[in-house]
Amino acid sequence: MKLFWIFFCLSLVCATSCALIERNPFDESWETPFGAPPFERIKTTHYLPAFKKGMALEKKEIAAIAGNSEIPTFANTVSALDYTGEYLTRVDNVFRNMTLANTDDALQDIAKTVSPLLSKHRDDIRLDDKLFARIKSVWNQRESLDLTSEQVRLLEETYKGFVRSGALLDAEKKERLRKINENLSLLSLKFGENVLKEDNRFELVIEDAADLAGLPDAVVSAAAEAAAARGHGGKWVFTLHQPSRIPFLQYAENRTLREKIFTAYIMRGDQEDELDNKEILSEMAVLRVEKARLLGYETHAHYVLEENMAKTPEQVYAFLDQLWAPALRRARAEAEAFQKLIIREGHDFRLMPWDWWYYAEKLKLIRYDLDEEMLRPYFVLENVRQGVFDLAGLLWGVTFEKREDIPRYHEEVEVFELKDRDGSHLGLFYTDYFPRAGKRGGAWMSSYRRQSRKNGEDIRPHVCNVGNFSRPTGEKPALLSPEEVETLFHEFGHALHGLFSKTEYPSLSGTNVARDFVELPSQIMENWAMEPAVLKSYALHYQTGEPIPDALIEKIRNASLFNQGFATTEYLAASYLDMDWHTLTEQEKLDPRTFELNSLERIGLIPEIVVRYRSPYFRHIFSGGYSSGYYSYIWAEVLDADAFQAFKEAGLFDRETAGKFRDHVLSAGNTDDPMVLYQRFRGAAPDIKPLLERRGLK
């Protein structure tokens, strides 16, 4: 009996010890299909140790390259450098995607700890004198090296990247740059966190059914479900999430409540409380001025745009100016038409921003016998997604196969395997489409693994599309708005850019391209969304299964230019605001409200329209990597309108044209200058005329 207890105690100790030294999933090769992340095994406690280990491992790899006694070559220095940090990248990719799509307080706390560590780690690499000396040595002998065009591109990008990161600065300036980078990383993180909390904390609780007048039944049902989920049973709740906010602004007859939800939306980050972002963004603007000057640039915009197609702030402003005057003219005409409708209804109030969506929807119904609710029954989310899958099949012969054996991080996530025309594996595609408290607003594409080639093996990518689309309600499936349909097509284009990637080096693959080029693959996909032949394939009524009728398609076509003045001016105003913040030359903190007001007054934005993103919640430029780059959406629209013209000329589903686009844009990554890549596809520089025609701005 005594012997039994000895063995029992030893077993208990062993079991306890094993639990204490549980293996971190990031330390293992992932025995999942295609090496997909084993989400069910990754715990919050695993991230910080994995980050620290990843940084330590990459530090050793860098030290080996920098300390190599052999003469610097492309292979032992530039190429070797591009493959370092594999462990850290794997950890960072999973963690970053979770903080965007499925975060909580614990993950946000880890992000605050890791952010300055990663900033220091990256600076340690880019400011390593020995490492840069080797890179510079290879750079100096570039003319005599026998390199492929992709290798030449990698050498150029690597050398420029180090110089732009401060490699040529003296020790004192390098130290100051480190501090700026650390501060910016923390401020950016805090800015985004505040906006997320703002998005989640507001709720418009309606108790009187009379206040729901004008709202479609599906919108009311969704609000009732939201209320029940938030502990307001028997009431209705509307939030700042787009599927809730936009329909309320479009249809709610209660003007006071429209003003309430609209004001809550545009005052995010600007309420003089713990979530106020004005001080944060003002400090970021100052630090960006200092960093640009430290690196030898006139402004932050000059620093950023050097790497973009636009090249200079002057070129961006000139481009925006070319569009602003006709767009503003059209917006004024739209505002006048809405005001006349208000008067015709017997009201005497002046059109305000919270009225715009409401009267736009009314006038569209009057002029074109069309409103959004006529279309929603045909836009079942799963059908729209299948429609874009089928479109990819028509253009490139690829297929998407749903996989139930791939781990997922949330029950609403679905995973598909992309196969090429010959049946070969191209990558994994995750979709995550509905809003929740732990998800950032908006829609985006990201990667869990990027494509590259290593030791002769083609490492295929794992990419995701994340959105905040309308949820299913009651017995109805998720029925999308036309804008949500176009957003799904848009983000799918980004996904294809990652999935079709066919490059050698990790840093040149997929969407690692100039900011004003990256939107071309996404925006060209939007062109097919409302094409009759494509619509007929996916726009099937959720109850009858009947395809969308030709009469409704004709109404969509007739209304295609409706409200384009508003859509263009609110976007362009945000682009100007971005550029104005980042062409500052003085390290002086400015009051964001005053600065923003002056920026918008300068361009003459009419009071009936509010800039698409006010500064305190402008995530793109203060926490999303688009600083000095928000203009890129419409810059890329010039490209996509011109590129789609090639399909119009050859046939909307022409395989040869699609093949060229895949080879020279979707698969090429950053292997050459973006204008060179575009001209290889199109045979000429892009023409702005198709864009002007599309938006009715001729």
Catalytically active residues are 491
Q: What backbone torsions phi and psi does residue 30 show, to the nearest 5 degrees?
A: -85, 110
H or E, element range at 429: strand 425-432
Question: 175 CB contacts (<8 Å, ≥6 apart)?
Answer: none
> Tokens 């253009």 belong to which residue?
395
Three-state SS for 473? strand
R_g of the chain, CA atoms, integer Å: 26
Residue 279, CB-side half-sphere exposure with 13 Å CA sphere = 8
Rounded distance, CA 106 to CA 98, Å?
11
> Tokens 């702005």 belong to which residue?
688
Secondary structure (DSSP) of 408-445 = -SSTT-EEEEEE-TTS-EEEEEEEE-S--TTS-SS-EE
- CA 346 to centroid of chain Cα atoms: 43
- 285 in Cβ contact with 297 (< 8 Å): no
- 85 in Cβ contact with 61 (< 8 Å): yes
Rounded distance, CA 82 to CA 157, Å?
11
Contacts 24+ apart (CB under 8 A), 172-176: 173/294, 174/127, 176/294
H or E, element range at 403: none
Three-state SS for 440? coil
Torsion of CA 336, 340, 343, 344, to 10 degrees: -170
Phi-psi region at 34: left, alpha or beta (left = phi > 0; alpha = psi -120 to 50): left
> Tokens 């020790």 belong to which residue?
171
Rounded distance, CA 409 to CA 348, Å?
53
Pick from 195, 200, 197, 194: nearest CA to 244? 200
- 424 in Cβ contact with 524 (< 8 Å): no
Burial group, residue 298, by CB count within 10 angstroms (0-12, 13-18, 19+): middle
Pick from 289, 218, 322, 216: nearest CA to 572? 322
Rounded distance, CA 446 to CA 70, Å?
38
Rounded distance, CA 647 to CA 334, Å?
32
- 205 in Cβ contact with 232 (< 8 Å): yes
- 646 in Cβ contact with 682 (< 8 Å): yes
Neighbours of 202 (CB within 10 A): 17
